[in-house]
Structure 1
Amino acid sequence: MAILEGWLEYLNEAGITYWLGGIAGLISILVVRSILKKVGKRLIQSERWQVLWKAFVNWTTLFVLVVYLLSYLSNTPWLYETLFTFGDTRVTIFLILAVLFVVIVAIRFSNAVKKHVLPSVYSRYELDRGMQATFNTLFQYVVVALAILIALSSLGFNLTSLTVFASVLGVGIGFGLQNIMSNFISGLIILFERPVKVGDRIIIDGTIADVEEIKMRATIVRTRANERMIIPNSFFLEEKFINRSYADTRLRISVEVGVAYDSDVHLVKKLIEESIKELNEETWHNILTDPEPRVFFENFGESSLDFKVWFWIDQQTDEREFRIPSDLRFKLFEKFNAHDIEIPFPQRDLHLIQQEKPE
């Protein structure tokens, strides 16, 4: 018994019991969190209410952990020791931890609002996907910025000290951060001016891609091969690119076909128009009648009379852009065969000249 008391006295003098007690408290909070989650999973049948209960438990646990740590470490001198002076403000470990905590809470709060609250607002006002992404990004920026400013002012941080930081940042930008800041500001301009937005179909260096996400520094686009391209935001303000969805989501599709020289050109034109009309009525209701399809007798080719048809679809998707022209070619092939209209292929006539051998 004396040996045990001796060990306890030694641990107490070394400060180990203090930290072991703190760790035991943390473990207890996490165990209670795990139990509450399991109880909620068993008692709550609705999936939606399970998600809400899980979020409530997580948020409550985070709050309890922070309050517990701050109260438990309140008598710890090193937590409030000055690391350095920023302007007129003493920066301590407590200040840094408090700001980090506020930032994490602000980010989680904004993510929760974006996930559970804003979608109902968007559906009510029928906002498009690009506008939703813009509002989501701006909302998160504003929430985090306000949270940091409120936290700093509440903790006694002199906000005028930020002028020192601004001057230091200005020097940093001049020596190597100009590219990062340029892309960040370009991202803000993109969000407000919207030369490109989430959901747009763009063409960059001949590659067709869909905009998936506009981040602080770069924009992520997905190609038709399901590859992701990471493009700096400044590219969309400084370089040329094609935005197919900028003002109109419609797309004009062109299909070419050649027929034999002895074909009835008026019948060919009629069959092409009938094929598009039937395709619209039977399968693809996305083919527009305004603007109406147009058939052109384009050229007298080497082996064929060349025709071209233009028609419009209501929205640009890979399925419509590729399958509709393919289905139209199938239908044209069947109609031309039914009316004995030949689709020729290149032919060459060879004339062999036999030369007599000299005697």
Structure 2
Amino acid sequence: MLPFLKGITTGNVVSFFIDAGLILIGNWLLKTIAKLVQLKNPESKNKFLPAVGSLLNWLSFYGIVILFLFHFSTTKWLLKPLYSKDGIKVSALLIIVAFMIVTLASRIIRLFTRYVLANVYEHYNVDRGLSYTINQIIYYTVMIAALAFSFTIVGINLTALGAIFGVLGIGIGFGMRNIAGNFVSGIIILFERPIEVGEVIEVDGKIGRVEKIRLRSTLIRTAKEGTLIIPNQYFIETIIKNRTGAEMRAEVKVSVSQGVDSKLVHRLLEDAVDQIKENCEGILKSSQLEIRFVNFRNSAMDFFVELPVANFEVKEKVESELRHSISMLFNEHKIKMPPILTDSEK
């Protein structure tokens, strides 16, 4: 027989599985009751049922873990001290309890911020960026407290731990300076809020929406490149264009050879815009189109077209359709584009 099976009887195993089965049946009954209650109030479906279902699942999980500890608490492997620290005999049971405290704290605070504080924010019209900052501060505060308590349970001296990290910090500070810089930048972003969750920003020529601000990095969702993971230090050290309050515009630059009638080019660009307005969704009808003759070059004339659009998700699609339309009209009128010049020739 394996050492950790000593002291376990058939009665313990059968009793444990019966009690665990009762917990799962109770989980199912409570979810069924919640669905019946929801039928009387359909408007609560999106908030009530997910919260109750998630809470019941986690209560069932922790209930089964506690049952396991209760039924097998007399087994030697569970109570046998693994080490002793400052008079505290740390066993596998104590480590499991410490782990449960941390995971339970994480789950409860996430449920609290998602289903309780969200309603408070909605009631008091708290903007999305501020609510996200408050949620993150609450989460990290609770998790630090839970970790500190768990460390104390398993006999880890927090003062000694701080001294160890201090020594390690000096030794590896240069190697981890970027990580530390990003961490500090994440805290600055959460408190100062130069950018907020939900805002549309431009990063290195790419436009996207801020999805999540973490302590080390920020997630930006773009229409074409997918999700960008950007170190937080970038936002502190670089000029970032915040497009949230600005009108989003599809922008196309086109060049034609010297000698072409510039007024004709202007009219063709207007015709190209009129063509795509009928087929492309997301173009703002009320805003004014802007076409500019922007520059002369050695053998070319540059024109710039700006077309207001609803959001950044349709921006690149509209720009692509506009280029197709311009190309077709230029071909029909035999308007030539200049050759591409190298950097030395410009």
The TM-score range, normalised by the shorter chain, is 0.5 to 0.7
Q: Which residue of 1 aligns with 2:319?
A: 325
1:305 to 1:53, Cα distance in 2 relative to 1, 3 A: closer
- Matched residues in 1 for 2:293 and 2:222: separation? 34
- Give the aligned residue type for 1:173: G
Check if 1:244 corresponds to 2:241.
yes
**Closer, same or farther in 2 for the Cα pair 1:305/1:129, shift >3 Å?**
same
SS in 2 for 1:345: coil
2:313 counterpart letter in structure 1: D
Paired residues of 1:260 and 1:344 also in contact (CA < 8 A): no
Matching residue of 2:167: 171
Q: Is the 8 A contact 2:220 2:229 kept in 1?
A: yes
Residue of structure 2 in register with 1:192 after alignment: 191
Give the C-alpha shift of residue 27 in structure 1.
Answer: 1.9
SS in 1 for 2:284: coil
- Number of the residue aligned with 1:29: 19
Q: 1:288 to 1:149 in 2, by over 3 A?
A: farther
The aligned counterpart of 2:90 is 92
Moved more, 71-80 or 182-191: 71-80
Provide, for residues 200-250 of structure 1, a one-character-per-residue CA deviation record: whole Å limited to 9, x for no partner: 43424x665554333343334445544545444444445x3x533267443
What is the distance in 1 between the residues matched to 2:330 and 2:236? 49
For the residues of structure 2 that align with 1:90 and 1:105, how far apart are their CA atoms? 23
Deviation at 1:109, TM superposition (A): 0.8
- How far residue 259 of structure 1 moved from its aligned partner, in angstroms, is 8.8
Say which is worse superposed, 43-52 or 91-100, in terms of deviation: 43-52
Q: Distance in 2 between matches of 1:327 and 1:136?
A: 42
Instruction: Give yes or no for contact 1:37–1:57 (8 Å, CA) kept in 2.
Output: yes
**Aligned CA distance change for structure 1 residues 173 and 21 (closer, same or farther; 3 Å):** farther
TM-score by length of 1: 0.65
Unaligned runs of 5+ in 2: 40-44, 340-346
When Rg is computed on C-alpha atoms for both structures, the one with the higher figure is 1
Deviation at 1:108, TM superposition (A): 1.0
Q: 1:117 to 1:281 in 2, by over 3 A?
A: farther
Q: In 2, distance between residues paired with 1:299 and 1:118? A: 54
The one-character-per-residue Cα deviations of 1:263-319 (angstroms, maximum 9, x if unpaired) are 472x76577568768977995453674xx554333346788765333455464x131
Q: Deviations over 1:22-69 (max 9, x none)?
A: 433432232123323444566645584654554454344345345545
Give the 3 Å change call, closer, same or farther, for CA 333–83 of structure 1 in structure 2: closer
**Which runs of 5 or more residues in structure 1 are unaligned?**
1-10, 349-359
> 2: distance between equivalents of 1:214 and 1:128?
15
Q: Aligned letter for 1:144?
A: M
The alpha-carbon distance between structure 1 residues 89 and 234, as it changes in their structure 2 partners (threshold 3 A), is farther
Q: Contact 2:27/2:57 (CA < 8 Å) preserved in 1?
A: no
CA distance in structure 2 between the aligned counterparts of 1:91 and 1:108, rounded to whole angstroms:
28
Matched, 1:254 2:244: no
Q: How does 1:300-339 map to 2 (within 5 A)?
A: 306-313=302-309, 315=311, 317-319=312-314, 321-328=315-322
- Do the aligned partners of residues 329 and 58 (structure 1) sit closer, same or farther apart at CA in structure 2, a change above 3 Å counting? closer
Give distance in 2, aligned partners of 1:207 and 1:347.
27
Identify if the C-alpha distance between structure 1 residues 325 and 235 changes in structure 2 by more than 3 Å, giving closer, same or farther. closer
**CA 1:251 to 1:148, structure 2 compared with 1: closer, same or farther past 3 Å?**
same
- Cα gap change, 1:277/1:92 in structure 2, threshold over 3 Å: closer, same or farther? same
Query: Which residue type is aligned with residue 92 of structure 1?
Result: V
Verify: 1:297 aligned to 2:293, yes or no. Answer: yes
Q: Percent identity?
A: 26
Looking at structure 1, the residues matched to 223 and 131 of structure 2 have their Cα atoms a distance apart, in angstroms, of: 23
Report the counterpart of residue 201 of structure 2 in structure 1: 201
TM-score scaled by length of structure 2: 0.67
Q: How far is 1:106 from its partner?
A: 0.9
Residues 288, 313 of structure 1: 8 Å contact kept: no
RMSD across aligned positions (CA): 4.7
The answer as to whether partners of 2:282 and 2:309 remain within 8 angstroms in 1 is: no
1:53–1:305 CA distance, 2 compared to 1 (3 A)? closer
Partner of 1:286, secondary structure, is coil
